[in-house]
C-alpha cells in the first residue's frame, strides 16, 4: 500500500481574537473570537473550499495563514515547519511559497505602479531575477495567465476587473508558490469573466501542482473547484469532508440549510430550510453549540455542551449532538 502524502499545510487549533478596548485607559474589555479553534489539513495539489456566511471568519482565517493577522493561539505548520517558531530570514524564505489572491482586484493593486512593477515586485524583493530583466520576467508571467505583454507599462485603472484579477494571479505566481489562498477571487467579477478566471485557476493548479484554500460564498463554484469542503460558522469549522460527501450527504444542520438555498439544475429542490435570527456576535458567542440559537433541530443539551466531533471512515466529520438520519 502506498503511504498517504504528508500535508503541505496543517492548521492545529488556530485562534485569532481581536481585543475590544474601552475607557480612558484603553483597557481590554473583551475579545472578538473571529477564528476560534480551527483545525484542518491541505495536501499538495489539493483544493479545500471554505464556505459560510459573511462574518463567520473565513477571510480572517486566510489572512492568518498568510501572516497578515497574528494568531492568539494554535499552530500553522507549512511544509513541515511551524511558522510560529520561525523568525527573520527563515520565516521570510518560507513565506514566499504561500501567496494570497484578494477579493477585490480594484483595491489590491497599487494604482501608482505599472503592471511590470506589480508582477515583478516580489522577484526584486527576494532577489530572484537571476540575471533576467524585469521586462522579460513580466512578459513570461503575464503570458502564463493569458495576458498580452504589450500592457507592461499601463496602470491598473486601465484594465477591466477580470484583467486585474489576472494581474493579481501573475503577481502571486511570480515566486513559484506551492500554496495560494484565494479569498473570493471571482465574487467581484461579471459572470462571464468569473468562468474565465475559474478555468484559469483550474489550469494553473494542473500545470504547477498548486494547493488552494478557496474561500467563497458560491457553493456551485466551490463544488467545481474543490476536492474537499469545510463549512465555517462563527469562527469554527462545523463540517468537513470530500466535496461529494458534504454536498450530497450533509450531516450538520447548518450545512443542510446552506445547501437548501442553492438551486440544482435537473435536481428536485427539497423544502428550503429557513434559519431564524442573525449570526451571533463573535464577541459574545452562545454557550454550547454556537449554532443552537438558530438550529431548527436544537436539543436542550445543545445550549449546555459543546458538540462532539463525529468522523466517518471516509474522513467526513461534523460537530453536532444530533445523529443524522
Backbone angles phi, psi at 218, to 5 degrees: -85, 105
The pLDDT of residue 4 is: 66
Q: Higher model confidence: residue 1 or residue 248?
A: 248
Are 97 and 79 contacting, i.e. CB atoms less than 8 angstroms apart? yes
120-123 contact pairs (CB < 8 A, 24+): 120/174, 121/171, 121/174, 122/96, 122/171, 122/174, 122/175, 123/174, 123/175
CB-based contacts of 247, cutoff 8 Å, min separation 6: 219, 223, 229, 259
pLDDT category at 47 given cuts 50, 70, 90 is very high
And the C-alpha cell for 92?
521570510
State which of 15-29, 99-113, 121-135, 231-245 shows the largest mean pLDDT.
231-245
Bridge partner residues of 78 (DSSP): 9, 81
The pLDDT of residue 24 is: 83
Residue keyed to cell 469545510: 230
Instruction: Using the predicted structure, report yes or no on whether residue 216 has a pLDDT greater than 80.
Output: yes
The pLDDT of residue 217 is: 87
As a whole number of angstroms, the longest Cα–Cα distance in the chain is 67
Instruction: Using the predicted structure, report yes or no on whether residue 209 has a pLDDT greater than 80.
Output: yes
Domains and CATH numbers, the chain: 9-97+175-319 (3.40.50.300), 108-174 (no CATH)
Which of 133-147, 180-194, 288-302 is the least confident region?
Answer: 180-194
Which of 9-13, 50-54, 90-94 is the least confident region?
Answer: 90-94
Are 97 and 179 contacting, i.e. CB atoms less than 8 angstroms apart? yes
And the C-alpha cell for 271?
423544502
Instruction: Using the predicted structure, report yes or no on whether residue 2 has a pLDDT greater than 60.
Output: no
Residue keyed to cell 450533509: 250
Going across the sheet that includes 81-82, the strands are 27-42, 9-22, 73-78, 81-82
Q: Is 112 helix (H, G, I), strand (E, B) or coil?
A: coil
pLDDT category at 187 given cuts 50, 70, 90 is confident
**Alpha helices, DSSP H only, in the chain?**
58-65, 88-95, 115-125, 134-144, 161-173, 191-208, 219-225, 243-248, 253-260
The pLDDT of residue 127 is: 86
Dump pLDDT digits (tens) for 268-285: 666 778 788 788 889 999
And the C-alpha cell for 64?
492568518
Q: What is the mean pLDDT of the chain?
A: 90
Give how far Cα 299 sits from Cα of 15, 111, 302, Å: 27, 53, 5
DSSP 304: T
Sign, CA dihedral 123-128-134-136, equals negative
Q: Higher model confidence: residue 236 or residue 86?
A: 236
Burial of 303 (0-12, 13-18, 19+ CB in 10 A): middle
Instruction: Using the predicted structure, report yes or no on whether residue 21 has a pLDDT greater than 70.
Output: yes
What angle (nearest 5°) sits at the alpha carbon of residue 229, between those of residues 225 and 230?
Answer: 140
What is the average per-residue pLDDT within 216-237? 93
Dump pLDDT digits (tens) for 100-154: 998 887 888 999 999 999 999 999 988 888 888 999 999 999 998 988 888 999 9
Amino acid at each position: 500500500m502506498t503511504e498517504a502524502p504528508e500535508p503541505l499545510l496543517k492548521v492545529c487549533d488556530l485562534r485569532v481574537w481581536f481585543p475590544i478596548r474601552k475607557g480612558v485607559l484603553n483597557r481590554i474589555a473583551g475579545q472578538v473570537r473571529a477564528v476560534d479553534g480551527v483545525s484542518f489539513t491541505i495536501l499538495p495539489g489539493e483544493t479545500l473550499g471554505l464556505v459560510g456566511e459573511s462574518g463567520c471568519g473565513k477571510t480572517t482565517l486566510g489572512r492568518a495563514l498568510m501572516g497578515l493577522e497574528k494568531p492568539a493561539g494554535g499552530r500553522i505548520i507549512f511544509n513541515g515547519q511551524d511558522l510560529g517558531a520561525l523568525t527573520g530570514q527563515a520565516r521570510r524564505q518560507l513565506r514566499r511559497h504561500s501567496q494570497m489572491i484578494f477579493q477585490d482586484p480594484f483595491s489590491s493593486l497599487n494604482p501608482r505602479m505599472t503592471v511590470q512593477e506589480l508582477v515583478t515586485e516580489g522577484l526584486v524583493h527576494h532577489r530572484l531575477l537571476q540575471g533576467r530583466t524585469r521586462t522579460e520576467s513580466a512578459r513570461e508571467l503575464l503570458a502564463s495567465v493569458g495576458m498580452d505583454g504589450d500592457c507592461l507599462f499601463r496602470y491598473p485603472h486601465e484594465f477591466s476587473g477580470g484583467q486585474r484579477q489576472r494581474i493579481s494571479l501573475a503577481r502571486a505566481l511570480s515566486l513559484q508558490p506551492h500554496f495560494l489562498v484565494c479569498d473570493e477571487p471571482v465574487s467581484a467579477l461579471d459572470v462571464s469573466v468569473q468562468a474565465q478566471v475559474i478555468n484559469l485557476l483550474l489550469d494553473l493548479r494542473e500545470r504547477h501542482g498548486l494547493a488552494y484554500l478557496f474561500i467563497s460564498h458560491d457553493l456551485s463554484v466551490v463544488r467545481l473547484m474543490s476536492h474537499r469542503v469545510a463549512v465555517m460558522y462563527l469562527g469554527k469549522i462545523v463540517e468537513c469532508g470530500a466535496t461529494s460527501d458534504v454536498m450530497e450527504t450533509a450531516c450538520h444542520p447548518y450545512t443542510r440549510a446552506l445547501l437548501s438555498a442553492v438551486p440544482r439544475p435537473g435536481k428536485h429542490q427539497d423544502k428550503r430550510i429557513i434559519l431564524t435570527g442573525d449570526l451571533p456576535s463573535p464577541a459574545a458567542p452562545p454557550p454550547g453549540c454556537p449554532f443552537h440559537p438558530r438550529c431548527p433541530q436544537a436539543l436542550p443539551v445543545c445550549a449546555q455542551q459543546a458538540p462532539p466531533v463525529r468522523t466517518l471512515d471516509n474522513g467526513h466529520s461534523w460537530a453536532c449532538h444530533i445523529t443524522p438520519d
